[in-house]
Amino acid sequence: MNYVVADIHGCYEEYMELIQKINLSDVDHLYILGDTLDRGPEPMKVLRDLMNRQNVTYIIGNHDYLFLYFIHKLGLDLSEVENMSEDDISDFQTYLKDGGLSSIEAFIKLSEEEKQAVCDFLKEGNVFGDVIAGDKRYVLVHAGISGFSEDKTLDEYDFLDFICERTDYSRRYYRDNNTYVITGHTPTMCINADSSPNVYIGNGHIAIDCGCIYGGKLAAYCIEEGSITYIDAKKVGERIK
């Protein structure tokens, strides 16, 4: 089976419970739609667990990109602050306030070898996924597809087109009814008419960021079965910023 999970944001306890609940085996495949990092209490534990699995495809999210950007500026030992521009320092402060502090604090505690492995894993991440299951096609991206056109192949987009602009869930992107776009990034409480933290399915879209970090749920979508597995957030409200 192919499972898709998005926006874990350091919720390690819920992540491990979800992995156990879907009974992920070595013959299954797990697609992560980015943003494992930031906001939650244990982002590096989640990321390093994913790194140790052979059946994972990691698709980069905007928080992953920002983390890598600032590590590149700061260096693995985070000692290059004096060489950063005022704009970069201001942006870094904004990043920390937007949840980056939990990732940076956990990163500092790693060995040099572990730090390099984390950065290499993220640098090697995909910018999109394209999965065929039966007669259906699933396009997997973190946030959306900026400047979408059916005349363009996925390879023709810039990687930033997949991680920044939110999907317009009110419109169908692909005319083919058997083609679906699976996304994270936008909590489904902001999409569903009833503000529920459940997977949204409509107009050829499947939105799976159910806002675990905001007290919602962590969800896994099974492509072959169309089934959804949920884990409720722990310590509701404590992580909301």
Q: Hunting for tokens 């306890």 — which residue is that? A: 13
What pTM, to 2 d.p., does this model score? 0.94
CA distances from 226 to 1, 201, 223 (A): 11, 10, 5
Q: Contacts from 145-149 at CB under 8 Å and sequence distance 24+?
A: 145/173, 145/181, 148/173
- pLDDT one-digit tens code per residue, 166-215: 999 999 999 999 999 999 999 999 999 999 999 999 999 999 999 999 99
HSE-CB for 91 with a 13 A CA cutoff: 13
Q: What is the mean pLDDT of residues 25-46?
A: 96
**Residue-wise pLDDT tens digits, 85-139:** 888 889 989 999 999 999 999 999 999 999 999 999 999 999 999 999 999 999 9
Q: Which tokens sit at 214?
A: 């905001």
In the structure, what pLDDT confidence band is assigned to residue 241 with cuts at 50, 70 and 90?
A: very low
- Packing angle of the helix pair 86-95, 62-74 (nearest 10 deg): 140
